[in-house]
Structure 1
Amino acid sequence: ISAAVMLRGYQTYIRACPFKKMSNLLANKTIRKLADSATTLHIIDFGILYGFQWPCLIQALSERRGGPPKLRITGIDFPQPGFRPAERVADTGDRLARYCERFGVPFEYTAIAQKWESIKVEELKIERDELLVVNCLYRLQNVPDETVVANSPRDQVLTLIKRINPDMFIQGAVTGTYNTPFFVTRFREALFQYSSMFDMYEATVPREDPNRLLFEEEVFGKDITNIIACEGTERLNWPETYKQWQARTVRAGFRQLALDQQIVGYVRSKVKADYHKDFSVDEDGKWMLQGWKGRVLHAFSCWKPTNN
């Protein structure tokens, strides 16, 4: 499926559901504020996919007083099957380059398509005197943990991010409890999780909407099939609750940063004004939590390596 077709499904999803849009908004506003005086901003995006997060940030940077910084994006994703494993990641860079040209933002892009735990710091081409942000929204769940591989690739990726030593690490987590080798437990927890998502769509988008059907089939459907039908390394989703992610990230050598309350307040008001009344935005500790009818589904946090 082409990026253009997928974008239509994604647009319907973000109009109906605030989870991704509000996470992107919170991340982008946080990065924009951090980069207020930077001459070069380098974003290392683990799980860039189609790069839908970045056009809004590019536009915001173009409006910065004194002119935009140079923007460097290192787009990282898993290799695709076939003869061109990096094609999608490279195409994402081409689209972002055209967007930067349109808005007059100096741009440099590096595409990496390989297993994340195998990446070396040197491949990321980090330069001195650049503001460095690592971004990973809702994709670390696709990296296997210690229940799948003895030497946890998930912890290896967090160790890599610690070695990168960013000025900020932005983490978004799908907070779920369907990561278990026991089938019945996994099936029941996945049923609870995805019934919330289908219930959300049922309340916000007509059932016959083709873009809703596209997103349900290509995103929800494929995820559900994989969760239920696959075991071990064939499974692609190993979610954890946000409290489990907090313990794991602290153990990897990070300290959690307080969220900007002005930005969180803006997000809360946008959700209240633009979305269904059953969506919620809450805080627990230093996490922003988003949910539907009381069930927490997405969580957002910001971190710094302890030695930074």
Structure 2
Amino acid sequence: MTLEEGPDSDQTTYHHQHHHLLDWLEDSISFIPSFLDDPYSNTESIAGYEWWTQDQDQANLLQTAPSTTPIAVPPATTTTTITQSLPQPEFSKKRKLPTSPITPNKVAAHGNQRRTGPDASNEGNGKFEEDGDIPQKPASGRKGQGKGNGGNSGSGNKEVRWAEHLLNPCATAIEAANPSRVQHLLYVLDELASPSGDANHRLAAYGLRTLTHHLSSTRIAAAVNVPTRGGGLADDSPCFVSTEPKLFRSALIKFHDVSPWFALPNSLANASILQALTLDSNQRPRPLHLHVVDIGVSHGVQWPTLLEALTRRQGGAPALVRLTVAGAAAPPGPFSAAPPGYDFSSHLLRYAKSIDLNLRIDQADSLAPRSLSLASGEILVVCAQFRMGHGGPDDRMAFLQSVRELNPDLVVLSEVDGGRAGDGDGSFPAEFGRRAELLWRFLDSTSAAFKGRDCAERRVVEGEAARVLEGRGVAEGRERWRERMVGLGFWDEGFGEEAVEAARALLRKYDGNWEMRPAEAAVGLWWKGQPVSFCSLWKPHTGRQ
């Protein structure tokens, strides 16, 4: 399918205004920064731009009515075990779980003592305390517990991560076919899991759903009674595919507004495309075509900024800008799918026409040259963001090989940084633990981004992110991706200084726990001292002619 619009000869010269993206979003939301008058050097204006304009209804999306539904009390036969082994919440006293997993034997050994975690200033000593507070599941619709840390428990720079201390032992117990321990941990998780609590409660809810699904396919399934009190999530909990298109678009834009998870890699990618165009203009004063192959998760949100910048670059915009959306060529994964009926092409084409830019949008189901309709003389950029990390190692190599056969002028590769992931034994507990750790960073950062408040947009993006728990692939470190790219005949290209400084300025508008760490020819995004993702640039040893 091909959609094409050319410049209107009767249209007057477009003037930059604060509301210039309202047309693209059908007079609903604006998210293009006004710093594009000087897009990569005016760092002060980048830090303060507004991504969208909220009307009264949109502002109300962040407000939810508190629930009056009482919290169910567990059956008498399990009350003693659960209340004695539950981790302490942040609601009254700031306490933490001991670092060792909780077991029924430990609970019995301590009699009527209730387990309380170490104080935030003395993490790890795992004390017991008389008359401790009984943990409670937050009521539905409960708002976050404070703003400084996005509603998470703990104090100072230390954080409570009790959900993983329950989920990971449960995964291990399932693998070891230990039904009594699985039964106990499932009841504990069900007591605490909530899709509207803090990051721990939400992780417990998503993890509980994944573990019960996995349990159903094991030989001990019949020996375990899966709790049905409602702590977990229903199979139809919000995700991208099941979301109404209007809410889906609002969630995309709102998430870019409050979190740099995708916004920062998008900024670096756009700046790098402009950089490649500028370098090429030394040989061709005004290239005929710029062709960007989009294999990403932005669903159109990334591109208005680039289109606007192209019209303002010295030397003018290319005579034709082609955008080929080839998401179907990569394995599916979190954030890759859109709901039925969502199509950003018409909005983007109308916006391009309003700024007098000749834009053509195509769809491709593979990376075959014929499917992409490659043309000689065009600058070919493959923008692959957060799509190649799904599937197994063979799938990743096959995809990268297809990219290499295109012999592009530039490849933008952004992926989740799994650090040391890949060194495990490949067992279910090991892979589940790594996925749960990644999801924790996402949920913890979104809790801070939304100030601990619950809203429809937050539930949609978190529900989609939770699909990582069910995936086949495991996030790998940047070095492993570098080995693949070098082995296929690519060499890494450094980011321009202006692109890095603009990204730093953009990051200042987000929570202070985010940081950007340039490393060799890549830029890493980190949350609370832990890697989240990286963005890198690559060129083939022999460029396209």
Counterpart of 1:200? 445
What amino acid maps onto 1:305 in structure 2?
P
Contact 1:13 1:215 in 2 (8 A): yes
Counterpart of 1:47? 296
Q: Distance in 2 between matches of 1:42 and 1:290?
A: 27
The offset of 1:197, in angstroms, is 1.4
The CA RMSD over aligned residues, in Å, is 2.6
For residues 230-271 of structure 1, the C-alpha deviation after alignment (integer angstroms, 9 at most, x for no partner) is: xxxxx3x44211111111111111000111122112212321
Contact 1:47 1:78 in 2 (8 A): no
Contact 1:268 1:281 in 2 (8 A): yes
What amino acid maps onto 1:32 in structure 2?
L
Counterpart of 2:79? none
Question: Which residue, 253, 266, 270 being the options, matches 2:489?
Answer: 253
Counterpart of 2:539? 304
What amino acid maps onto 1:93 in structure 2?
S
What amino acid maps onto 2:400 in structure 1?
L
Q: Distance in 1 between matches of 2:307 and 2:376?
A: 22
2:372 equivalent to 1:124: yes
Q: Distance in 1 between matches of 2:468 and 2:499?
A: 31
Question: Which residue, 413, 431, 434 being the options, matches 1:171?
Answer: 413
2:475 equivalent to 1:239: yes
Q: Distance in 1 between matches of 2:483 and 2:381?
A: 21
What amino acid maps onto 2:459 in structure 1?
L
Distance change (3 Å), C-alpha of 1:207 and 1:48: closer
2:311 equivalent to 1:62: yes
Contact 1:3 1:50 in 2 (8 A): no
Structure 1 length as normaliser, TM-score?
0.83
Q: Counting helix residues as a fraction of each chain, which structure ranks higher?
A: 1
Percent of residue pairs identical:
24
What amino acid maps onto 1:164 in structure 2?
L
Counterpart of 2:362? 110
For residues 138-180 of structure 1, the C-alpha deviation after alignment (integer angstroms, 9 at most, x for no partner) is: 11113x333xxxxx23212212211211111111011126667
**CA radius of gyration, larger in:** 2
User: Greater CA deviation, 252-261 or 71-80?
Assistant: 71-80
Distance change (3 Å), C-alpha of 1:267 and 1:49: closer
Contact 1:121 1:164 in 2 (8 A): yes
Contact 2:244 2:339 in 1 (8 A): no
Distance change (3 Å), C-alpha of 1:93 and 1:295: same
2:278 equivalent to 1:33: no
Secondary structure of residue in 2 paired with 1:276: coil
Q: Distance in 2 between matches of 1:89 and 1:260?
A: 38
Secondary structure of residue in 2 paired with 1:58: helix
The offset of 1:15, in angstroms, is 2.3
Counterpart of 1:213? 459
Q: Distance in 1 between matches of 2:246 and 2:359?
A: 22
The offset of 1:277, in angstroms, is 1.3
Contact 2:417 2:532 in 1 (8 A): yes
For residues 85-127 of structure 1, the C-alpha deviation after alignment (integer angstroms, 9 at most, x for no partner) is: 99979934333222222222112222013xx5xx422221111
Structure 2 length as normaliser, TM-score?
0.49
Q: Distance in 2 between matches of 1:202 and 1:43?
A: 34
Contact 1:76 1:112 in 2 (8 A): yes
2:524 equivalent to 1:278: no
Secondary structure of residue in 1 paired with 2:326: strand
What amino acid maps onto 1:244 in structure 2?
R
Question: For residues 75-90 of structure 1, what are the structure 2 equivalents within 5 Å?
Answer: 75-78=325-328
User: Greater CA deviation, 284-293 or 65-74?
Assistant: 65-74
Instruction: Name stretches of at least 5 consecutive residues in structure 1 with no aligned partner.
Output: 147-151, 228-234
The offset of 1:49, in angstroms, is 5.8
Contact 1:77 1:89 in 2 (8 A): no
Counterpart of 1:149? none
Contact 1:75 1:93 in 2 (8 A): no
Q: How many residues align?
A: 284
2:350 equivalent to 1:98: yes
The offset of 1:20, in angstroms, is 1.1
Q: Distance in 1 between matches of 2:397 and 2:291?
A: 23
Contact 2:491 2:538 in 1 (8 A): yes
Contact 1:168 1:303 in 2 (8 A): yes
The offset of 1:184, in angstroms, is 0.5
Instruction: Name stretches of at least 5 consecutive residues in structure 2 with no aligned partner.
Output: 1-242, 282-286
Contact 1:178 1:239 in 2 (8 A): yes
2:330 equivalent to 1:74: no
Counterpart of 2:387? 139
